[in-house]
Amino acid sequence: MGEQFWWIYDAAAAAIVLICIFVMSKKGAIKGMMSLVCAGVALMIAFTASSAIANNLYESSIRAGNIKTISKDLEPGTVTKKLVEYLDGMDYNLKASGKKIDEMFASDKDFDQELYKYVNNINAKKVAEESEFLEKAHEGYAQIISSIIGRELSPYAAKESKQLVMNNPSYFKEIGSLNTEEGSQREAAALIADNYLAPTYHRLIRYISFMALFIFAGLLSFLIVKAFTGKEERVGAVSHIIGGLSGIGFAVVVLVVIAVMIRLYILLGSNEMMIFNKDTLEKTYVFKHIYNIVADM
């Protein structure tokens, strides 16, 4: 969606670089270099501090609420019921037993292996190759966890949880096991929140705190630069050149901050907004490299 407008990103990046070079060359070497140093320091502060802030804020203010919200709707047997429905809906003509699923959850044996053996035994025939079945089973785990999260929490968090489950489905058995025990719903909800919800919230909070920190540090840096370079300096040819070169570095800082903003828009828009989506960014020649740096934050 909006992929034909990919060129806007590269055109905007080029314009920002040219503007920064022009402005900094006008400022001269001293102001240009000080502006670059201050912007770089602000960027480093925002990068390093935002992660700790996001982690502390999530743990202190959001985690407990998420666990409470999930556990409220996580009735005993919910995971088992949803897994039975998923298995029965597969193209293998299965009729799964909730009691048997509960036994596998309670067993010390590998859940994936036991599940594969079980579905092969239902109709006394091999349903698929093990790797093929387990891939589909993990998709089922992801759908189940996503549906539990999506009942009361944001669709974005539910969507992101699918990929988190696919990347690491190992907690599914423990969640299912706890969900079969009366009074253990909070523990099951905590596992879901900590492993399949926390990374999404942490990422969002980090991007927001990054922007806030950069703006604060940037304004402080601006005041420092203004205080130390209040007088007009004589700007010669060499000073213009040095100032222009510092403008390139300053432009990189600006582009990184813009990339963080765009990343936040993409996340909040569930990658479905016009122009603000991964497919459009992947078509760019230059801006995608900057975006990929901040996407891994």
Mean of pLDDT values over 24-35: 86
173-202 pLDDT, tens digit each: 999 999 988 778 899 999 999 999 999 999
Q: Using the structure block, give the residue that is written with the tokens 């900094």.
A: 24
274-284 pLDDT, tens digit each: 677 788 888 88
Q: Which of 147, 181, 215 is the last residue of a domain?
A: 181
Return d(Cα 54, Cα 46) in angstroms, integer.
Answer: 11
Q: How far is CA 55 from the centre of its chain?
A: 14
The three-state secondary structure class of 97 is: coil
pLDDT, position 233: 58
pLDDT band at 74 (very low <50, low <70, confident <90, very high): confident
> Do 55 and 98 sit in the same domain of this protein?
no
pLDDT, position 53: 93
Structure pTM? 0.78
Q: Which of 181, 209, 232 is the last residue of a domain?
A: 181
> Do 162 and 235 sit in the same domain of this protein?
no
Q: Using the structure block, give the residue that is written with the tokens 């203004």.
A: 226
> Do 174 and 218 sit in the same domain of this protein?
no
> Do 210 and 157 sit in the same domain of this protein?
no
Q: How many CB atoms lie within 10 A of CB 272?
A: 11
Q: Is residue 109 part of a domain?
A: yes
Asked whether residue 231 carries a pLDDT value surpassing 70, the answer given is: no
> Do 83 and 174 sit in the same domain of this protein?
yes
Q: What is the SS3 assignment for 33-70?
A: HHHHHHHHHHHHHHHHHHHHHHHHHHHHHHHHHHHHHH
Positive or negative: CA dihedral 186, 192, 194, 199: negative
Q: Please enumerate in sequence order all residues whose Cβ is within 8 A of that of 26, keeping only pairs 6 or more positions apart, or say none.
A: 235, 240, 243
> Do 225 and 278 sit in the same domain of this protein?
yes
Count of domains observed in the chain: 2
pLDDT, position 69: 92
Asked whether residue 1 carries a pLDDT value surpassing 60, the answer given is: no
Q: Is residue 81 part of a domain?
A: yes
Return d(Cα 228, Cα 223) in angstroms, integer.
Answer: 9
> Do 93 and 160 sit in the same domain of this protein?
yes
Enclosing domain of residue 132: 77-181
Report in angstroms the alpha-carbon separations of 106 from 101, 195, 220, 262, 269: 9, 21, 58, 45, 39
Better pLDDT: 119 or 272: 119
> Do 101 and 149 sit in the same domain of this protein?
yes
241-259 pLDDT, tens digit each: 888 899 999 999 999 999 9
108-134 pLDDT, tens digit each: 999 999 999 999 999 888 999 999 999
> Do 29 and 124 sit in the same domain of this protein?
no
Out of 14-18, 130-134, 220-224, pick the least confident. 220-224
Q: Which of 153, 181, 209 is the last residue of a domain?
A: 181
